[in-house]
Structure 1
């Protein structure tokens, strides 16, 4: 896992280099199973769970802030890690453009919402109306846009449940590109589907690039 100090010191240099060499973020690696029963990615941010601080730090290095709620024994969480987050064709893009904090939907660690309210992970999940795992929440990359708000008020999009790789990647792209401000994800992904079919690919054979 990446510590807060390593995140703030290391990713600024990495982000600048990655802009010149997008593959620098390295290949995807297999997830490991933690003591809490959640699958871990070594590039996820291990923070003090202060959402406002984490978003500000993501903003400082030009990334979008994302919170991923999971739970032990969740088959769709496992599939997300073992299928989607092992894809060498697009995981470097995720690493370069998103700061992801993992939370346990039934966890008891203290987390601080954007409005300053401190509560356990499980209570934060209820406050944010998270009912399924995985649930992946995306937030604006401007700290001023979330100040004084709850996460539920501040979020700009969410993934609920498992999305196959094609849709998973393009959902992140839809957010990162700012397209979410102009059109819904269904319309955006349909356009990407047409592009894919024009190249003679199917959703099962699709790869980025």
Structure 2
């Protein structure tokens, strides 16, 4: 089931009465700053370089035991910048993306040609319109296999869509939610994340869902 999570989740938060991470102990943004491309997008050297045939990209991701992840951005987007300058500068977050996903960056107003899963070839901006992409950043996650995708276009094939920016805590666990296929058992990311909060509480892990960091004592199995 496709999950469209609204910006309201970003504001309200999803865990009741979290404890605050102690200063100086959290996983902080510490990796070198990202570069900016000629078209004004922040880039990561480990983002997938692709011919933008999405069926081929998903096949390659599957062969590597990873999931295909599309990141929509645009020039001058402050929350795209924050995604790169905060979330992806945290080693544990960046490692999770690199280990479990093949991320492809697309430009909301770009002119590169992309071959959709249904075979239609469109420029990035036209593909964004076809898929109903309206905000940046928007993240899309896709099934593990082409068999699950079939001949559906990307907006019908996606399993999770996030229109907006998530703080590191939400973003990190979003990656786990998408990679493990937890959406199949629990369609509500909000409720699933609530169960993660309960697990952290049981382990005595202090966390702050609004911090620009991950909690220091985050268990290795989470």
TM-score (norm 1): 0.83
How many angstroms does 1:28 deviate by?
4.5
Higher helix share: 1
2:81 aligns with 78
Q: Gapped runs of 5+ residues in structure 1?
A: 1-26
| Matched-pair contact (CA < 8 Å) for 1:196–1:206 | no
SS at match of 1:132: coil
1:43 aligns with 46
In the alignment, the residues of structure 2 paired with residue 192 and residue 29 of structure 1 have an alpha-carbon distance, to the nearest angstrom, of 30
SS at match of 1:68: strand
| Matched-pair contact (CA < 8 Å) for 1:139–1:157 | yes
Deviations 1:29-61 (A, max 9, x none): 421100010000011001011111100000011
How many angstroms does 1:116 deviate by?
0.5
| Matched-pair contact (CA < 8 Å) for 2:96–2:175 | no
In the alignment, the residues of structure 2 paired with residue 74 and residue 64 of structure 1 have an alpha-carbon distance, to the nearest angstrom, of 25
Does residue 1:201 correspond to 2:207, yes or no? yes
Does residue 1:190 correspond to 2:194, yes or no? yes
Displacement over 6 Å in runs of 4+: none
In the alignment, the residues of structure 2 paired with residue 142 and residue 54 of structure 1 have an alpha-carbon distance, to the nearest angstrom, of 11
Q: How many residues align?
A: 183
Q: Gapped runs of 5+ residues in structure 2?
A: 1-29
In the alignment, the residues of structure 1 paired with residue 106 and residue 97 of structure 2 have an alpha-carbon distance, to the nearest angstrom, of 18
| Matched-pair contact (CA < 8 Å) for 1:76–1:134 | yes
In the alignment, the residues of structure 1 paired with residue 133 and residue 176 of structure 2 have an alpha-carbon distance, to the nearest angstrom, of 22
| Matched-pair contact (CA < 8 Å) for 1:28–1:91 | no
Q: CA RMSD in A?
A: 1.4
Does residue 1:53 correspond to 2:64, yes or no? no
Higher relative contact order (CA 8 A, sep 6+): 2
How many angstroms does 1:66 deviate by?
0.6
2:117 aligns with 114
